[in-house]
Chains A and B, each alone.
Chain A
């Protein structure tokens, strides 16, 4: 029983991080109908940059954020404006996956060349301790990860709902032609949408570096996990992705403590295939999904 509670707690904490990581993917899909396979590669790029800042200057990994977040925002805008926007509109879905796949390979190769293929990790003094609540031990690094993810997601939602830019972005997601008609520069807004998406990858990468060791090829595992999350949630639905992230995080956590790590990761694919068989458009919204 205690074990189950432990798995549940860890699952919720990890699910929060998954929600943050998947939210970027939902944004890209929303604004451009693009499945950004390179998102996890950028995540690990951010993790490595954080690692470099941490080891070179000996500062807290979160102090890398003021540098990485603007850089990644600019990178995202550049990727959208210079690469994705140039693809021919027919067959955009397939070609964009191949394009971002190529970007992912490029990043993985560069990371492998500069940092070698061996494991890296950042261990902070506060990350090794844990908080015990009613027999369930919650590692501080997971709590911090969850808090940062929740905070970032909160800011993201606030921007999307309250700000003028957020309204323009949502209009672009809902109906690009209509948005253009009322005077929204949809091309530029889509570019900023990509920028915001990659900025979440910068935050996610820092958090990831804190809680888990990483090596250049580990982004493939994350592609599978995050894709499973956005398919289960319904492609293009930020809220759906967040719900599916917590659900799958909990399932993973429970299987991890009761069976083993292989099956825990396998659960993502099981859910992916079950969703495709039962409800290809996803379980939480995602009316956009079926055709893409």
Chain B
């Protein structure tokens, strides 16, 4: 599967990663080669094999619905870069 520079730019936006325009070609090439490895893996006959959603042969453990954590706001707030009135502050977002 071939990808183009534009795909890299789009993925970078979705992942909120800043990519140096000079490096886009490198990324396109290396990710393309990863995808061709996957293409190769796709050749394997997987008929009759259940898709795997988790590699562990185990099922989800359940938790009883009881409160186990107290309010630890002061401790959490202490490691945040910016807070006010108990809120975490982040750069302005609209929409």
B is a partner of A: no
